[in-house]
Amino acid sequence: MIPASVIEDIKYRNSIEDVISSYVNLTRSGANLKGLCPFHSEKTPSFTVYTGDGHFYCFGCGAGGDAISFIMRIENLDYRGALEFLARRCGITLPEDDGGREKGGVSRNRVLEMNLCAAKFFRNVLFSPEGQAGQEYFAKRQLSGATIKHFGLGYAPNSYDALKKHLHSQGFTDEEMVAGYLCQRSKKNEKNTYDCFRNRVMFPIIDTAGNIVAFGGRVLDDSKPKYLNSSDTPAFRKSRHLFALNYAKNHTEDGFILCEGYMDVIALHAAGFENAVATLGTAITADHARIMKKYTDKVIISYDSDEAGQKAADKALRLLGEAGIEARVLTIPGAKDPDEYIKSYGREKFAEVLRGSLSGFEHKIHKVLAKYDLNDFSNADIKARAARELCYAIADTESKVERDIYCQRIASVLNVDISSIKSEVTGILRREAAKRKKERHTQVVRITSGSGDRVDPDFVKAPGNVRLEGAVIGMLLLHKEYIAFSKDKSILSPEMFTSELNRRLYEKITGTPDFDFGMLSEDFTQDEVSRAAKMMSDRKGLSNSKEVFTDCAGKLREMTEKLKEKQDGADLRDIIERRRKEATNNRK
């Protein structure tokens, strides 16, 4: 536990406005600040920072909290990691982490220490006789010693326990190795563990702070899978990291080059294109797109030209576009990937190919027309199918001006009347708008009924009670002076809360000496912390006097008692009905 006084000092020296404005462009809106939410894609600001109360809330995606929970989300850190981040930012030294562990398991710091130890082990094995296979692989790929050292590459020996034995000698336990995805438990005997990475060249995944957070490994025989990547751990989330971002973030003058794999990125960096990054054995996500948006507004997608690669490129175009990034697609003539092209034609020729990358829409035109033989466009059916596909592509474009330009382009390519293209696009837009309206209505109905509340599934049991509980907790969070007052069981008690989440929040708030909102992040999930932030936001602009608080607490007690009486009555009816059936069966 970090002392409350230290947490309070950290938050005092890291005002929520200063912290969030380093990630989000905030503008004044009355007494508050507003901006585009960094946690979901939006074009109209719904992200509000309440500087007076030191918390934020997004009315679009529901993310909320204080400066600590904001850093946890934006930097993908655990509770202590976020406190350390903010402490470094203002020059505070945190007390030592007791034993390297936190409630619930292995801490992020311990995993990072273990990963560093493992990376050194893999590197030493690579340059030993045991690493001959790894040396031959990197030599075949024409990687220099400097490049191997730059990326910290290594080799995992073909052994079931070589890494485990080494980590044991350094004081790490089996529990820690399993938590950090360096070892797995045997299915036959869970007491036994074995190395996850064996006979693979190893690629350390390094975050922007220079920490080794995970590993990727490429097999050197016919084993499957070809590439093995760390699963999520206390230090790592696949959807929140990009390979080589720690280097590429300093070379974004021309945007990022988004690749499919480690070797593509390494080859590009070795050739001088140090703005290359790759996702980590997973398809691009909205989180990846938002991470890239922090550093640049331009991305060139360099995926394989096969069907799978083109589908992935389409998804990347959509997600990058939603994040406000100008995305282009690279087509590489006469080579399967950038590495092969550079080796065959040289760096300057590849730079020319980069400059000739296609805009998102030009890529869509190219892909659609490639499916059809242009000589068959005399066939009305073929032309109609091509036109329909391209009209859907135009309808995906947000800007009306761009849609008009693309309509002219398609009309010219297909030699049809532009009014027909515009009419088809308008029809698609209307149908999509109606579909979205229906989906929104369905969502509103689900949320109103409580059936869609995954954060607090108890809402549906007694919506009125849970709403009143939220009002009480919101006032406790806004006015700490009510906390001591509310401990009087004649006013409030844990038994009065129908929602398990709200009961846990109440117990944390009232049971923690010198409570601060940031302490919620230690025991609650990010979604639960966001729900608490919403309770605060819902009370903004309302009367939150002590009289109102007392009145709400009194009403909650009455409603809880009535609910209990109703439940007791139902239980009694069940007992009577069961005994009646038993008596009837006995007579038979």
- Model pLDDT for residues 263-315, shown as the tens digit of each residue: 999 999 999 999 999 998 778 988 888 889 888 999 999 988 777 888 888 88
Token pair 């239980």: residue: 571
**Average pLDDT over the chain, rounded to an integer:** 87
Q: Which helix (H) or strand (E) holds 276?
A: strand 276-278
pLDDT at 483: 92
Cα angle 459-463-464, degrees, rounded to a multiple of 5: 145
Does the pTM of the predicted model rise above 0.75?
Answer: no
Q: For strand 298-302 and strand 326-329, is the pairing parallel, antiparallel, or unpaired?
A: parallel
Q: How many CB atoms sit inside 10 A of residue 292's CB?
A: 27
Q: For strand 105-106 and strand 154-156, is the pairing parallel, antiparallel, or unpaired?
A: unpaired
Q: Is the pLDDT of residue 435 over 50?
A: yes
Rounded-to-integer distance, Cα 102 and Cα 100, Å: 7
Length of the chain: 588
Residue 336 DSSP symbol: S
Rounded-to-integer distance, Cα 65 and Cα 49, Å: 10
Q: Is the pLDDT of residue 468 over 90?
A: yes
Residue 150: Cβ-neighbour burial (10 angstroms; 0-12, 13-18, 19+): middle
pLDDT at 360: 84
Sign of CA dihedral 557, 562, 568, 570: negative
Please state which of the ranges 150-159, 183-192, 358-367 shows the lowest mean pLDDT: 358-367
Q: Is the pLDDT of residue 103 over 50?
A: no
Q: How many CB atoms sit inside 10 A of residue 566's CB?
A: 11
Tokens describing residue 343:
């080796």
Instruction: Work out the pLDDT band at 569, boundaries 50, 70, 90.
Output: low
Q: Which residue has the higher pLDDT, 300 or 563?
A: 300
Instruction: Work out the pLDDT band at 101, boundaries 50, 70, 90.
Output: very low
pLDDT at 378: 61
Tokens describing residue 249:
């973030």
Longest dimension (CA), the chain: 96
Query: Which residues does residue 27 pair with via DSSP β-bridges, in sequence order?
Result: 34
**Distance between terminal CA atoms of the chain?**
65
Question: b/e string for 471-510 if b means 16 or more Cβ within 10 A?
Answer: bbbbbbbbeeebbebbeeeebbbeebbbbebbbbbbebbb
pLDDT in tens, 7-46: 888 988 999 999 999 999 999 998 899 999 988 878 889 9
pLDDT in tens, 477-524: 999 899 988 888 888 999 999 999 999 999 999 998 888 898 898 888
pLDDT in tens, 112-148: 999 999 999 999 999 999 999 999 999 999 999 999 9
CB 80 within 8 A of CB 102: yes
| Edge-to-edge order in the sheet of strand 212-219 | 154-156, 200-206, 212-219, 227-229
Instruction: Work out the pLDDT band at 198, boundaries 50, 70, 90.
Output: very high
Instruction: Work out the pLDDT band at 352, boundaries 50, 70, 90.
Output: very high
pLDDT at 230: 93
Sign of CA dihedral 5, 9, 15, 18: negative
Rounded-to-integer distance, Cα 241 and Cα 316, Å: 15
Please state which of the ranges 121-125, 197-201, 571-575 shows the lowest mean pLDDT: 571-575
Q: Is the pLDDT of residue 572 over 60?
A: no
3-class SS of residue 298? strand
Q: Which residue has the higher pLDDT, 223 or 508?
A: 508
Tokens describing residue 331:
């087509």
Tokens describing residue 422:
């515009």
CB 82 within 8 A of CB 71: yes
Strands (E), 51-153: 55-58, 64-65, 101-102, 105-106
Residue type, 329: V
Q: How many CB atoms sit inside 10 A of residue 579's CB?
A: 10
Q: Which residue has the higher pLDDT, 539 or 569?
A: 539
| Edge-to-edge order in the sheet of strand 27-29 | 27-29, 32-35, 47-50, 55-58, 64-65
pLDDT in tens, 147-185: 999 999 999 999 999 999 999 999 999 999 999 999 999
Token pair 């060139």: residue: 300
pLDDT at 443: 59
Q: Is the pLDDT of residue 350 over 60?
A: yes
pLDDT at 104: 42
CB 453 within 8 A of CB 470: no
